[in-house]
Amino acid sequence: MSEDTHAADTEAHAHAILDELKRQKLGDPAAYGGRSDILDRVRDYEKQELDTQQTISIASARGEDIEKLALLDSMTELYNHRTFLKELKAELNRAKRYGHHVALCMIGIDGMDGIRAHYGTLTVDAVAKVAANVIREGIREVDIAARYSNNEFVLALPQTNAAGAALLAERLRVRCGNQAINHNWQAFSVTASVGVATFPQNASNYDELIARAWEALDYARARGGDRVFCV
């Protein structure tokens, strides 16, 4: 198979997944899109993160350790919230300059509160690590992955349109569901929901883009989880 044929087949597959995801949208479309309460949630969360930065024992950390603690989430070793926002803003500035797409995927593990109640906090941490590994192994080097909050992860995909983001999101959803988790003599699996939004089609600013992806994630969860929803 030639490289051009393979690329065409991949693009066709991506569009087929996106079309199917759009077909699955239920409910009143007028009730969806640009909810101000979710944008307020994004902005409030950003302010909280700036006001209550990670409490790091700088006195006991040196050199590379300090840099690592400042950039990464200590549990998953993905970017932390603050670093992600910095990288996303820079990527959107490049996209505006060169006319590129940027896709954003907000990923949530379904039923984390139930897992916490049934198995405890340590098991929740183990699930977060497994999810982070699935994400890390499933993305390109140029993609930007972070732990956005306790229960959500986020991906920024440079030069990626809605079809490409839908394809990746679906792959990550399937891989997450196929992971066996063994912790504290308990064996189980989890599912993931993913919300997808793209710049500039769905938002013109970083916080609006995050809000649209988070809104899409909320919609996917409300429909029962274990699914991808694209704006």
Tell me the per-residue pLDDT of 123-139, one tens digit each, with 9 for 90 and over. 999 999 999 999 999 99
CA distance 122 to 41: 27
Instruction: Please say if the pLDDT value at position 7 is more than 70.
Output: no
Structural domain count of the chain:
1
- Residue 14: pLDDT band (50, 70, 90) is low
Asked, for residue 44, whether it belongs to a domain, the answer is yes
Q: Considering all CA atoms of the chain, what is the largest pairwise distance in Å, rounded to the nearest integer?
A: 58
For the record, the structure tokens of 162 come out as 């809605």
Q: Residue 187 is part of a domain; what is its CATH number?
A: 3.30.70.270
Asked, for residue 47, whether it belongs to a domain, the answer is yes
Instruction: Please say if the pLDDT value at position 146 is more than 80.
Output: yes
- Residue 223: pLDDT band (50, 70, 90) is very high
Handedness of CA 111, 229, 142, 56 (dihedral sign): negative
Asked, for residue 220, whether it belongs to a domain, the answer is yes
Average pLDDT over residues 126-154: 95
Asked, for residue 26, whether it belongs to a domain, the answer is no
Q: Check residue 32 and give its pLDDT.
A: 46
- Cα 141 off chain centre by: 16
Average pLDDT over residues 16-39: 58
CA distance 86 to 115: 32
Q: What is the mean pLDDT of the chain?
A: 84
Specify the range with the lowest mean pLDDT, choosing from 60-64, 123-127, 180-184: 60-64
Q: Check residue 50 and give its pLDDT.
A: 62
Position with higher pLDDT, 63 vs 77: 77
By residue range, what is the domain housing residue 73? 3-21+31-230
- Which one-letter DSSP state was computed for residue 57? -
What's the pTM value of the predicted model, to 2 decimals? Answer: 0.80
Q: Check residue 137 and give its pLDDT.
A: 96
Asked, for residue 129, whether it belongs to a domain, the answer is yes
Instruction: Please say if the pLDDT value at position 118 is more than 90.
Output: no
pLDDT tens-digit series, residues 189-212: 999 999 999 999 999 999 999 999
